[in-house]
Amino acid sequence: MTEQLIIFDTTLRDGEQSPGASMTKEEKVRIAKQLEKLGVNVIEAGFAAASPGDFEAIQAVSKAIKKSTVCSLARAVESDIEKAGNAIKGAASKRIHTFIATSPIHMENKLRMTSDQVLARAVQAVKWALNFTDDVEFSAEDAVRSDISFLIEVFDAVIQAGAKTINVPDTVGYSIPHAWGERVGTLIANVPNAGSVIWSTHCHNDLGMAVANSLSAVINGARQVECTINGLGERAGNASLEEIVMAIKTRKDIFNLETSINTTEIVPASRLVSTITGYPVQPNKAIVGANAFAHESGIHQDGVLKHRETYEIMRAEDVGWGANKISLGKLSGRNAFKTRLAEIGIEVESDDMLNAAFDRFKELADKKAEIFDEDIHALVSEEYVEVSVDLYKLISLKSQSETGTIPSASIKISISGVEHAAEVSGNGPVDATFKAIESIVNSQSELLLFSVNNITSGTDAQGEVTVRLSKGGRVVNGLGADIDIVIASAKAYLNALNKLFSKLERAHPQI
C-alpha cells in the first residue's frame, strides 16, 4: 500500500496574514468548504486568540466542515490554547496546533526565556492542549535557525507529552533544499520514538524555495506538508498546495506517495481564494496561472497536437482547467439561484441579501449569456461587503476616452443613502474614475495596487479588478466585477473604501 502525504492547508491562517487578505467569517466558511471538496486532510482555520472575529470564524468553520480536520493555531500560552480548544469544540475532527520559538534569536529577544523555560513550556502547552483534543501538533518556530541538539531535546519531550504531529518550520524562508531535507532527516533519525509521530514541514518562500524545501523534507521522511492555495502568505508567501500536490502526483516514480486531493478542484479553489482575498494569480504561475498550460511556440504546438506527451507533463483538465460549468442562465429563477449558491458553499443569511444578490445576478445575466460559478462567487463577494456595510454604493458611471482627448469620468455614488455626483478628468478612464470618487469621498487613503483579471475566458467575460488601499497602517483589498472594466474598477475602489471604513469584524492575526 502506498504511503500517504498529509496535506495541511493554512490558507485561512498563514495565508490570511498577507496584507489586506483578512477575511470575514462568511468568506472563511466558503473557502473551507472548497478545501473540503478539494480533499485537504487538515484545515488550519485561524488563530483563535488573535481576535474575537478569528475565534468566531474558526467556530463557524468547525460547524460547517465534516470530512477534514479543523485546526486552530495557539501560542504555548494557556489562555491561547483554551481559546483554540473552545473554538474547535464543534468540529467532527479537531486539532490544536501549538508553537513556541526555539532559536536563540527568538528566545532571547522575543520570548525573553531561557532554553530550559522554553522546553518546559512546550511540554506544558502540549498537556494543556490534550485537555481539548488528542490530536495535538507542536511546532518549533524558527526551527531553521535553532540548535539541532536543542530541537531534538524539545521534540523528544513533546512526543513524550503526547504530541502526535511534529512540525519543523522554516519561518523566515532561509533554507535551501538539500540543507532542509538533511535537517528534517537528522531530526527523524535522532529523536527517540520519531516513528510514533507524523513529521511535518512548513516552509516560506522568501528565497523562492518553499515548495522545493518542502519536497526535500518529504524525501527525507516528512509525511505532512503545510501549504496554502496559490502560495498565499505574508512576504513572499508559503509553499503552494497545488505545486506540492502535482509534484507528488506527477513524479510518483520519485516520491512514491499519495495524497487525498481531488486535483480537479485545484483551479476552482485557486479562483475562489483569489476572488475573496483580492490577490490575483500571476499568469505564469505553475499549475494555476492562466498560461500554465498554454503552448505558444509553433514547435511546441505542433508537438502537442501530434502527441500530447511531447511537451505536456500534466493535463490541464486534471487540475480543473476548463471544468467551469455553465451554472445558470438568463432564465434561471430565484430558487435555482438559491440552490446553486448552496451547492457551491454559499449560505445566504437573510432574504434581503438573497434578493439583492439575485437582482445583481439578473443584471449580469442580461449582459452575459453564460454564468459560471466563478461569476456567482464574485457577485456574492461584492454583495456581502455592501449589505453588511452599505456606506458607499455606485449609482452610475459614465467614462469617456478617445484618442487625442483628455479622458473624463462622471460618477454618481450614494453615501449612506445620500446621492453625490462628480465629474473629473484624469490620465485615463480608470484614473479619472478614481479621482472622481475621491473628489466626493476624500478618504485620504493611498492606492497601493490596481490589477485587472478575467474571471472566465472570452471577451464577454467579467473583468475582475483588485484595488488595494492603505490608510493609517490598515490595508484592505477591494474587489469589483463587471463586463466593463472601468465600472469594475469603480466597484473595486468603493468596495475597498467600504472595507476600510467598515466595523465588520475581520480576523487579524499578528504572529
The binding site for Mn(2+) comprises: 14, 202, 204, 238
Strand order in the sheet with 446-454: 446-454, 463-471, 474-482
Nearest residue to Zn ion, scored by beta-carbon proximity: 14
HSE-up (13 A, CA, CB side) for residue 428: 5
State which residue, 14 or 382, has the beta carbon closest to Zn ion: 14
State which residue, 14 or 383, has the beta carbon closest to Zn ion: 14
Q: What is the dihedral of CA 269, 352, 482, 421, to 10 degrees?
A: -140
Helix ranges (H only) for 143-227 are 148-161, 177-190, 210-219
Within 10 angstroms of residue 134's Cβ, the number of other Cβ atoms is: 12
Query: Is the Cβ–Cβ distance between 24 and 504 less than 8 Å?
Result: yes
* 281 closest CA partner among 157, 374, 200, 348: 374
Q: Where are the beta strands (DSSP E) in 323-417?
A: 326-328, 371-372, 392-400, 408-415
State which residue, 6 or 437, has the beta carbon closest to Zn ion: 6
Within 10 angstroms of residue 402's Cβ, the number of other Cβ atoms is: 7
The least distance separating Zn ion from the CB of residue 5, rounded to whole angstroms, comes to 19
Query: Is the Cβ–Cβ distance between 47 and 13 less than 8 Å?
Result: yes
Within 10 angstroms of residue 21's Cβ, the number of other Cβ atoms is: 22
State which residue, 8 or 384, has the beta carbon closest to Zn ion: 8
Please report, in range form, the residues annotated as the binding site.
Answer: 14, 202, 204, 238
The least distance separating Zn ion from the CB of residue 6, rounded to whole angstroms, comes to 17
The least distance separating Zn ion from the CB of residue 28, rounded to whole angstroms, comes to 18
The least distance separating Zn ion from the CB of residue 91, rounded to whole angstroms, comes to 22
The least distance separating Zn ion from the CB of residue 509, rounded to whole angstroms, comes to 11
The least distance separating Zn ion from the CB of residue 316, rounded to whole angstroms, comes to 30
Q: State the Rg of the chain over Cα.
A: 24
The phi and psi torsions of 465 (rounded to 5 degrees) equal -110, 135
Which stretches of the chain bind Zn ion, using CB under 5 A? 14
State which residue, 19 or 90, has the beta carbon closest to Zn ion: 19
State which residue, 14 or 80, has the beta carbon closest to Zn ion: 14
Within 10 angstroms of residue 305's Cβ, the number of other Cβ atoms is: 10
State which residue, 173 or 181, has the beta carbon closest to Zn ion: 173
Question: What are 372's strand-pairing partners?
Answer: 326
For residue 201, give the DSSP letter. E
The least distance separating Zn ion from the CB of residue 17, rounded to whole angstroms, comes to 8
DSSP letter for each residue of 65-109: -SSSEEEEEEESSHHHHHHHHHHTTT-SSEEEEEEEE-SHHHIII
What burial class does residue 307 get, using C-beta atoms within 10 Å of its C-beta: 0-12 exposed, 13-18 middle, 19+ buried? exposed
State which residue, 231 or 426, has the beta carbon closest to Zn ion: 231
The least distance separating Zn ion from the CB of residue 99, rounded to whole angstroms, comes to 10
